[in-house]
Amino acid sequence: MPELPEVTTIVRTLEPLIKNKTITSALTLHAGSVEGPHPLTSVVGGTVSALSRRGKLALIHLSGLEGKGGTDGTKGTGGTNGVDGLGVHLKMTGRLFVYEANTPPGPHTRVVLDFSDGTRFFFDDARKFGYMRVLSEESRKEWAFWQGLGPEPLEMTKSDFVNLFAQRNAGMKSMLLNQKIIAGVGNIYADESLFRAGIHPQSKGTSLSTAQLEELHEALVNVLEESIQECGASIRDYRTARGDAGAFQNAFRVYGRAGKACVACGQTLQGGVVAGRATVFCPHCQRDS
């Protein structure tokens, strides 16, 4: 499931495949996979200028549409603000691939964009949890999820990070998963970073020392950067835009290892549900404080 390192990898591998290409048609195969005030067809004529990431969102920046309104100029069907991009949330099973001309959609293809060179861009999503959203000033303004996204973990200082959690009385894992508090962290990297920092998933922010929170910051940054180095973790559906699997799943120390031995102390790793998510931790190395 794509979290920050996986989305980063997808963006990096996808950019050279679609940059500077112009969209000639946009086809929605599953209506629920497109959301927001603009119809998907409003990206037609746009040229991909760059790709980026915000939280777990992949962002496709488009140029050439600035002065283009909707066909009837009304909000909800076309919009009047210039469309300048496309946001994609892959959730669990979303994939972004580029295919050669005339490739037919697959059974789980939800959106097809055709480029002027004939290549095709597919948004596949078996479970239909993900979505694409046409971006403009208006679209971003009314997008509560976008407006509420917390800071990027790789773009904040140690003290910013400490201040984010030190005064909060909620469980650490729950907070790491909360995109409004910090953006881009999902179940895998929450468990892995808490293990590396020796912090119990249910420890409250207020119960941790500054040193412990600093250690968590370092652990989170390290685990995210190491995973980016390995092109992310492939379990189940995730692939890079080139179709390759990542390798970071081989470096998991706790995720998916309930019942196995802790790599640090040898004790049996404990599995359970914390904050509504499957959670694995070491009861010896991660004491609740």
Residue ranges binding DNA (CB under 7 A):
1, 3, 32, 55-56, 89, 91-93, 107-108, 126-129, 144-145, 148, 168-171, 174, 177, 179, 186-188, 202, 204, 235, 255-256, 273-278
Helix (H) or strand (E) holding 141: helix 137-141
Check: CB of residue 197 under 8 Å from CB of residue 219.
yes
Mark whether 105 is an active-site residue.
no
Shortest Å distance, C-beta 118 to DNA = 29
Mark whether 3 is an active-site residue.
yes
Beta carbon nearer to DNA, 115 or 203:
203
Mark whether 277 is an active-site residue.
yes
Spell out where the chain has E strands: 23-28, 34-35, 47-54, 57-63, 83-89, 94-99, 109-115, 120-125, 131-136, 270-274, 277-281
Mark whether 56 is an active-site residue.
yes
Beta carbon nearer to DNA, 9 or 93:
93
Shortest Å distance, C-beta 54 to DNA = 10
Shortest Å distance, C-beta 280 to DNA = 9
Exactly one of 53, 56, 68, 120 is catalytic; which is it?
56
Beta carbon nearer to DNA, 115 or 131:
131
Retrieve residue 142's tokens.
């009314």
In the numeric block, the tokens 């984010």 are attached to 164
For the beta sheet containing 23-28, the strands, ordered from the edge strand earlier in sequence to the opposite edge, are 23-28, 109-115, 120-125, 94-99
Active site residues: 2-3, 56, 277
